[in-house]
Structure 1
Amino acid sequence: MPLSSPAATARAVPDTRQRGLMALLLVVNASMYAVYMGVGSVLLPTQVAAIDPDHKVALLGLIGGVSSVFATACNPVAGALSDRSGRRNPWVLGGALASFAGLAFLGRVHTALLAGIGWCLVQGTMNVYQAAVTAIVPDRIPSDRRGTASALVGLALPVGGTLGVLVASASAEHLPVGYLVLGLVAAAAALLLTTMCRDVPRAQDAVPAPALPWRRRAAVFLSALRSRDFRWAFVGRALMVLGYFSVVGYQLYILDDRISLPKGLSPAEAMAVLTPVSMAAMAVSTLAGGLLSDRWNRRKVFVGVSAALAGIVMVVPVLVPTWPGMLVFSALNGLAFGCFMAVDTAVVTLVLPRAEDAARDLGVLNIANAGPQIVAPFVASAVVTAFGGYTPLFLFGGALSLLGALAILPIRGVR
């Protein structure tokens, strides 16, 4: 079935309900990014540094690498199961409540092993939540409004990221409180969506599909990658996200070990300054990129230019390793990443191979989105350890972003 099918269904929904749905999508995605950014950028690095300050870089990388298995596996599996069930809300609410439990556990542990187990649980359950939330856009939003919808979803990163980092920075001395607050934010957002936006069950086959061997199931899960356009979108997203989060995930340690901060400003407090700067710039470019890409019906130029800019600005902290340099870097990096994520999301929804497999295929795409975010600490720690410092890390992240810009060029189905 062509992708126009869910678009046609979505057009039958009144505009007022679509606007309400878009607002809810902003809320639920923002809560997700609040967890990812608050925990990944502040709470978990702080916790790891307290557990073992001498080996914090390697230990954070190890925890991130192991938890990536749970994140990347749970997302497409949950997406496929929500496709099969024909509903999204149970997966959204169930994932959020399970994540709250995982965050509560994580806030109470004092060993590296238990911290790793807790972060694996949170990553796995948050990816169940993310898979179902992501599928709502192709389910309910017409193709000619995907750019606007994607802009609002993209706006969730600066909104949620700022909220998460501010909460985490304020509770850096009281980690259990920070974990609980972020868990409550995600659970409340999921409850709001599932209460205000009722599921529209999709038609199910009268005859159940026959059971398949596990190898065949894996091939079916990844079948979208046989589509040339989808495959290049996957590669571009993975490179860009890995480059971005390789640096952002270690920003607390970079501020502590490399940057001379103003007197009286702690690394956690510096994060509470840099993150709103980056996220405000991201919000501007997210909205501008999404709306302009709809108006001009052009997507690739926005994605390619923003990814290239993200690669170039990585040299700023290398050339100017100062507090003002970090402020400039944060603003420019936010501009680039916000535009990329907003418009690239629209690109992805337009190159999905089959509408009826939207959640499953977006789950595969989310491997390129969630996987690199979690793998990034492992990769970054290897770069820092192997090459001795954070300068190679900035250059590595910049190179990945530039490669991500090149990956958009072979896509043919989107202008």
Structure 2
Amino acid sequence: MTEPLDGPQTAEVTEATVPAALAEPTTRVRPGWTALLFLANIGLWLGIYAPIQVLLPEQAELLDPAHKEVAFGVVTGVGAVVSLFANPLVGLASDRTKSRFGRRHPWTIAGALAGAAGLAVLALAPSVVVMILGWCLVQAGLNGMLATLTSTVPDRVPVEQRAHIGGLVGISQMLGTVLGAVLVTVLITGLTGGYLACALIVVAGAVLFVLRTPDLPLPRDWPLPRWRSVLASAGVSPRKHPDFAWAWGCHFLINLGNALGTFYLLFFLTDAVHYPDPASGLLIMMGLYGVALVIGGLSVGRLSDSSGRRKPYVLFSVAVMAVAALILTVSQTWPAALAASVLLGLGFGAYWAVALAILTQVLPAATDRAKDLGVVNIANLLPQVIAPLVATVMLADFGGYPGLFAAAGVATLAAGAFVLGVRSVR
């Protein structure tokens, strides 16, 4: 195996010491390690969102043109349910892994290969049923990979560097989404080629990260709880760990507010703004959103790390995102849409810069980092399931688009109230 970019780390393991794999990291990670984590995350999100945005809808239309919306909804809905289970379960398994290659890396590779296999199945799927099977395999594999990549942050990154790294992780999700859309609409236009290209990029990012970064193993004789007791406590008790519960609630509400504010923008431009070319208008809005997200993530991440404070920046992001929602609530015009895009991107980027720092600082135990971060990742995934249901009700019965954006603002403001409940983080 190639010498790790982060350099070798040694730690004497005795009965009286904590293994290096479970110790709180103190050495700052180097730019090379950060770059490889960034690329692996880009590949991961590209493998998820290029199919969701382009390939799956096109394939549903090809295989079942009369019921394409239903087919697409069933495929993505079943896959979303699989992701809710795969993330914490793979995280739990990696926490207990005693491979000489480390705890996380074997599962990162396994997840990437499973995801790539699912994409290959989709590339050749002759029916919607096979599409469902392929997409479930993709979601299981890539959400397992997500669990282990996220866990490398508390495993390897010291607290005073986590906001900066967290901001880059958030940016990687946005870039993976954008680059995935470019890949399968501009560079490769066929379904088969698009799926296989995504699979190749996912595996390449995972392999580079695994080969070029360290993953400290658990000692073979290190005691672990029985599987039965671990599965019985697969969640995290809000009563025993209230700070984790408050932070989880904040994370869920922020992501719900962002989903409500962004999922229906194409229809908003068509039906409310009456923009002449909604697709081009959405591209402009997402471009502004992406640039603002990068600015917010990088600048706030460094400020938070240098000050050691997290909650003031969450409250700042909540205020900015709430203003964006308010603008769209009171004004359905093109200038309002542009202004809201910038503010929403700035606020969401600022939040992501400190989110991973806060969430990793309130994890209940080092022995369960990946499992607990799998529970955290449910707060990322669940809004994707809930937002369409809430949006359908709001658009039909509660004020249309003004009601929808008002709901986004309420969810965002509620997130600010939740973060105030976290006591152990400043």
Q: TM-score range by the shorter chain?
A: 0.7 to 0.9
CA offset digits 1:178-214 (Å, max 9, x no partner): 33333322221111101111422122445564341xx
Query: Contact between 1:77 and 1:363, CA under 8 Å: does it hold in 2?
Result: yes
* Counterpart check, 1:34 vs 2:59: no
Q: CA deviation at 1:301?
A: 1.1
* Counterpart check, 1:96 vs 2:109: no
CA offset digits 1:221-251 (Å, max 9, x no partner): 1135430100011111111112212443334
SS of the equivalent of 1:298 reads coil
Distance 1:275 1:2, change over 3 A: farther
Aligned-partner Cα distance in 2 for 1:173–1:388: 39
Higher relative contact order (CA 8 A, sep 6+): 1
> Which position in structure 2 is the counterpart of 1:193?
209
> Which position in structure 2 is the counterpart of 1:10?
25
Aligned-partner Cα distance in 2 for 1:363–1:393: 29
Aligned-partner Cα distance in 1 for 2:177–2:309: 27
* Counterpart check, 1:202 vs 2:218: yes
SS of the equivalent of 2:233 reads helix
Task: Indicate which of 79, 90, 94 corresponds to 2:91.
Answer: 79
Aligned-partner Cα distance in 1 for 2:244–2:350: 19
Distance 1:291 1:327, change over 3 A: same
Q: CA deviation at 1:410?
A: 0.7
SS of the equivalent of 1:153 reads helix
Return 279-288 or 323-332, whichever deviates more. 323-332
Query: Contact between 2:20 and 2:216, CA under 8 Å: does it hold in 1?
Result: no
Q: CA deviation at 1:414?
A: 0.5
Query: Unaligned 5+ residue runs, structure 1?
Result: none
The AA in structure 2 aligned to 1:334 is G
Task: Indicate which of 134, 152, 155 corresponds to 1:136.
Answer: 152
Aligned-partner Cα distance in 2 for 1:79–1:127: 9
Task: Indicate which of 263, 279, 287 corresponds to 1:276.
Answer: 287
SS of the equivalent of 1:200 reads coil
The AA in structure 1 aligned to 2:346 is L
* Counterpart check, 1:222 vs 2:235: yes
Q: CA deviation at 1:112?
A: 5.0
Task: Indicate which of 134, 140, 157 corresponds to 2:173.
Answer: 157
Query: Unaligned 5+ residue runs, structure 2?
Result: 1-15
**Cα RMSD (Å) of the superposition?**
3.3
* Counterpart check, 1:105 vs 2:121: yes
After superposition, residues 8-407 of structure 1 pair within 5 angstroms as: 10-11=25-26, 18-45=30-57, 47-48=59-60, 61-86=73-98, 87-109=103-125, 113-170=129-186, 174-206=190-222, 209-212=225-228, 216-223=229-236, 225=238, 226-262=240-276, 265=277, 267=279, 269-384=280-395, 387=398, 389-407=400-418
SS of the equivalent of 2:25 reads helix
Query: Contact between 1:7 and 1:138, CA under 8 Å: does it hold in 2?
Result: no
Query: Contact between 2:166 and 2:357, CA under 8 Å: does it hold in 1?
Result: yes
Q: CA deviation at 1:379?
A: 4.2
Q: CA deviation at 1:400?
A: 1.5
Distance 1:210 1:298, change over 3 A: closer
> Normalized against structure 2, the TM-score is what?
0.83
Return 220-229 or 374-383, whichever deviates more. 374-383
> Normalized against structure 1, the TM-score is what?
0.85
Query: Contact between 1:151 and 1:343, CA under 8 Å: does it hold in 2?
Result: yes
Distance 1:235 1:59, change over 3 A: farther
Aligned-partner Cα distance in 2 for 1:340–1:155: 11
Query: Contact between 2:297 and 2:350, CA under 8 Å: does it hold in 1?
Result: yes
Q: Which has the larger radius of gyration?
A: 2
Aligned-partner Cα distance in 1 for 2:154–2:392: 37
Seq. identity, %: 35
Return 155-164 or 335-344, whichever deviates more. 155-164
Q: CA deviation at 1:217?
A: 4.0
